[in-house]
Amino acid sequence: MRKALRIVVVEDDAVIGILLAELLAGMGHDVCAIETTEAGAVTAAAQYDPDMMIVDVGLGAGSGISAVEKILRSRPVPHVFVSGNVARSQMLSPGAVFIEKPYRESDLVRGILKALSKAATF
């Protein structure tokens, strides 16, 4: 990767959120927040002004896709959606970058690079 990114993780499963944050930190990134709800994601994006967001599609309280839609009204933020059912999720947000659970570090790297390159074209 080019540089360390400031990343907000949005994952309603606390253990997965912590493991993902540890993986990202091990890759050299700065995880500025781990949020578990749609509202928390929107607040964290405003508070931390992240370079990237890794967002679970299905949140217990709200939707990751809805959270990103709200955030994008304020400013562009490259993002990668994580889903256990990418085919269904892509119908909800066509053109977005998705990786499917369970994923490996290499899948995450590819997703981040794809999201950054898409953001650079806007």
Per-residue three-class SS string for 17-80:
HHHHHHHHHHCCCEEEEEECEHHHHHHHHHHHCCCEEEEECECCECEHHHHHHHHHHHCCCCEE
**Dihedral pair phi/psi, residue 52, rounded to 5°:** -160, 150
Residue 28 confidence class, pLDDT cut points 50, 70, 90: very high
Residue 79 lies in a domain: yes
pLDDT at 1: 47
Express each pLDDT in 42-87 by its tens digit. Answer: 999 999 999 999 999 999 889 999 999 999 999 999 999 999 988 8
Domain containing 58 equals: 6-120
**CATH number of residue 32's parent domain:** 3.40.50.2300
Other Cβ atoms closer than 10 A to 91: 8
The model's pTM: 0.93
Give the number of domains in the chain: 1
Residue 1 lies in a domain: no
Residue 61 lies in a domain: yes
Of 51, 50, 70, 54, nearest to 12 (Cα)? 54
Q: Could you tell me the CA-to-CA distances from 55 to 20, 82, 94 in Å, in that order?
A: 11, 6, 15
